[in-house]
Amino acid sequence: MAIFVDENTKVIYQGLTGSQGRYYGLLNRDYGTQVVGGTNPKKAGTDVDGIPVFASVAEAVAETGANASCIFIPAAGVKAAVMEAAEGGVEFIVCITEGVPAHDEAWFFNKLRRDFPNVRLLGPNCPGIISPGKCNIGITAGHIAKEAEPGAINVGIVSRSGTLTYQALYELKLQGIGVTTCVGIGGDPVPGTSFIDCLQAFEADPDTHAIMMIGEIGGSAEEEAAEFIRSSVTKPLSAYIAGQTAPAGKKMGHAGAIVSGGKGTAAAKMEALTAAGVRVGANPTEAGELMVEIVKELSA
């Protein structure tokens, strides 16, 4: 199995006719993802390499049966694009766009939660999601991910860091470990999907036997995840926290990765996860090695 997306997921690309939307939309289709349409009200009735373009998400959903959307819209238009997707009937929205105003993120996060409780948003500012061999939505390179195998010990990945999402996938592939789903939740202050959302889904997935978690400095998401792991997760985890040498008060990469007032430090997050029984690595490679140990133990 996989969480959130699989071979039956049908995806619309909002922004398919733009350069980035086109590039990744076609790349995802070539991977095997069911990319069934794109949207652009000015180019409705045309196509992008055989993928039809519709005037709106609602029209695309009606014509194709799509249940997911991937947003490659400039930051200023993301608020409207997210709501168009939800109102158009999409159940899973992946927003790749970075630089979305935090005020907009907070607004549509709460709007979705209140008025569209069955719609899941991933991102903004995230690499997307991949269930290897089944579905790839976003900018993750499919060739660095090993498909989960029936009867084998398979791992789920959830990562707050974009680049380290790819490293986690590749570290496991080099060790011959399959991945059920890898979720890049993004590092913005108001992510649509949290660590806890993914941990809960992986815990419920019978084909995911262990979980790898990549966090980073800033905020309290990792500490909250540690509490959830302590109370509600039975599967073994390895983890890495990025930003261990970051100075307090200095923005590192993006708005979510900042240590302020002595809170959000890597040390505090590592301590909380370790106390919850997670095996925490000093670097991404060590986190991968710790997962190899977990897989060996589960295979014995």
- Classify residue 172 as left (phi > 0), alpha (psi -120 to 50) or beta: alpha
Rounded Cα distance, 278 and 297, in Å: 15
Residue 135: strand pairing partners: 131
Rounded Cα distance, 162 and 128, in Å: 9
Q: Is-cis flag, bond preceding 124, omega within 30?
A: yes
Q: What is residue 169's three-state secondary structure?
A: helix
- Report whether 130 contacts 138 (CB < 8 A): yes
User: What is the CB-side half-sphere exposure of residue 20 using CA atoms within 13 A?
Assistant: 14
Q: What is residue 74's three-state secondary structure?
A: coil
Catalytic residue status for 209: no
Query: What is the b/e burial string over 259-270, where b = at least 16 CB atoms within 10 angstroms of the residue's CB?
Result: beeeebbbebbb
Rounded Cα distance, 195 and 183, in Å: 9
Phi, psi of 12 (to 5 degrees): -105, 140
Handedness of CA 59, 64, 70, 73 (dihedral sign): negative
Residue 110: Cβ-neighbour burial (10 angstroms; 0-12, 13-18, 19+): exposed
Residues recognised as catalytic: 254
